[in-house]
């Protein structure tokens, strides 16, 4: 079943990978990455509170609940594993950066996809979001299909119900501001993979990451927020292998 948390605990494992998806996102975003991990490693792929259900479930959650969920998980894993790798997409990268700074002693490194230090709202995401809401995504449009697959919240054609989501996005914007200020504090190996055609992340986010001496930033020239062009997909997977599994 799609949009489900994954907990794979390997008896005797000393290494675990914690994955955290983005806002309205899905643990499914990490499936291909998890498949590349050593079978002797444990994996915890979270489904954040309010995700995987109805529009009202997302309205009734909060950034505070997400922060607490990630921090509790990291604290628990820190008590039971020698080494922890953190893998995030979009908002999940922000949650993991702050969690890692609060509990750095066992974090081996971060692998971050589409770090949203500033937001963008380009026409393509507005169009694709409406297509998803009204279930009119053409199967021939790979980027729109990727947007649909990435949404773990069941959509509704009653668009006014999405007004309850506004506080969540205002909380996200505040989170972006706080994490921007803390980037220089990252002291563990960190790789950030950004997309040049990201429809939700401003270009200046990539520019700021590239200025950080403690972060290795990779730019995918043809990819978007949820969708990766084939050459970029291979580059992203190779970077993952090089950073984490080798």
Give the CATH number of the domain where residue 33 resides.
3.40.50.1820
Indicate the angle between helix axes 166-182 and 63-80, nearest 10 degrees: 50
The whole-number pLDDT of residue 121 equals 80
pLDDT of 137 > 90? The answer is no
Cα separations (Å) of 22 from 30, 54, 139, 151, 242?
A: 11, 17, 23, 10, 23
Indicate the angle between helix axes 63-80 and 91-102, nearest 10 degrees: 50
List % helix, strand, coil for the chain (3-state, nearest 5): 50, 15, 35
Is residue 35 helix, strand or coil?
A: coil
Residue 135, domain member (yes or no): no
How confident is the prediction for the chain on average, in pLDDT? Answer: 93
Q: How far is 59 from 163, CA to CA, in rounded Å?
A: 8
The whole-number pLDDT of residue 85 equals 97
Average pLDDT over residues 213-220: 97
Structure tokens at 9: 């605990």
Residue 62, domain member (yes or no): yes
- Which residues, listed in sequence order, are joined to residue 43 by a DSSP beta bridge? 8, 17
The whole-number pLDDT of residue 125 equals 76
Residue 136, domain member (yes or no): no
The whole-number pLDDT of residue 218 equals 97
Binning pLDDT at 50, 70 and 90, where does residue 28 land?
very high
Residue 128, domain member (yes or no): no
Q: How far is 244 from 246, CA to CA, in rounded Å?
A: 6
**pLDDT tens track for 84-135:** 999 999 999 999 999 999 988 889 999 999 999 999 988 887 787 878 877 8
Residue 59, domain member (yes or no): yes
The whole-number pLDDT of residue 54 equals 93
Domain that holds residue 224: 6-120+151-245
The whole-number pLDDT of residue 77 equals 96
Average pLDDT over residues 204-224: 97
pLDDT of 200 > 90? The answer is yes
Helices (H), the chain: 31-34, 55-59, 63-80, 91-102, 123-133, 142-150, 166-182, 203-211, 230-240
The whole-number pLDDT of residue 148 equals 87
The whole-number pLDDT of residue 21 equals 98
Residue 129, domain member (yes or no): no
Model pTM score: 0.95
% pLDDT > 90, the chain: 78
- How many CB atoms sit inside 10 A of residue 60's CB? 14
- Phi, psi angle pair for 195, to nearest 5°: -110, 130
**pLDDT tens track for 43-100:** 999 999 999 999 999 999 999 999 999 999 999 999 999 999 999 999 999 999 999 9
Binning pLDDT at 50, 70 and 90, where does residue 146 land?
confident
Among the residue ranges 142-146, 195-199, 206-210, the one predicted with the least confidence is: 142-146
β-strands 6-8, 42-45: how paired? Answer: antiparallel
Binning pLDDT at 50, 70 and 90, where does residue 136 land?
confident
Total domain count for the chain?
1
Q: How far is 70 from 53, CA to CA, in rounded Å?
A: 19
Residue 187, domain member (yes or no): yes
Binning pLDDT at 50, 70 and 90, where does residue 139 land?
confident
Residues 6+ apart with CB under 8 A from 121: 199, 200
Element (H, E) at 110: strand 107-113
pLDDT of 1 > 80? The answer is no
């Amino acid at each position: 079943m799609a949009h489900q948390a994954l907990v794979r605990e390997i008896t005797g494992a000393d290494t675990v990978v914690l994955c955290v998806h983005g806002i309205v996102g899905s643990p499914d975003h990490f499936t291909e990455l998890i498949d590349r991990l050593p079978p002797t490693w444990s994996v915890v792929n979270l489904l954040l509170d309010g995700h995987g259900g109805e529009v009202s479930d997302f309205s009734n959650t909060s950034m505070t609940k997400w922060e607490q969920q990630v921090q509790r998980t990291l604290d628990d894993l820190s008590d039971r594993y020698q080494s922890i790798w953190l893998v995030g997409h979009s908002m999940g990268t922000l949650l993991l950066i702050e969690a890692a700074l609060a509990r750095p002693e066992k974090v081996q490194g971060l692998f971050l996809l589409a770090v949203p230090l500033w937001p963008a709202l380009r026409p393509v995401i507005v169009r694709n979001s409406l297509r998803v809401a009204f279930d009119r995504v053409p199967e021939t449009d790979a980027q729109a299909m990727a947007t649909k697959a990435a949404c773990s919240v069941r959509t509704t054609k009653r668009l006014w119900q999405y007004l309850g989501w506004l506080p969540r996005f205002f909380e996200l914007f505040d989170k972006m501001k706080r994490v921007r200020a803390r980037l220089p504090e990252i002291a563990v190996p960190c790789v950030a993979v950004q997309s040049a055609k990201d429809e939700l992340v401003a270009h200046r986010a990539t520019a700021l990451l590239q200025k950080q001496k403690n972060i290795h930033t990779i730019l995918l020239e043809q990819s978007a927020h949820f969708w990766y062009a084939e050459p970029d997909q291979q580059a992203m997977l190779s970077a993952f292998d090089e950073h984490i599994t080798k």
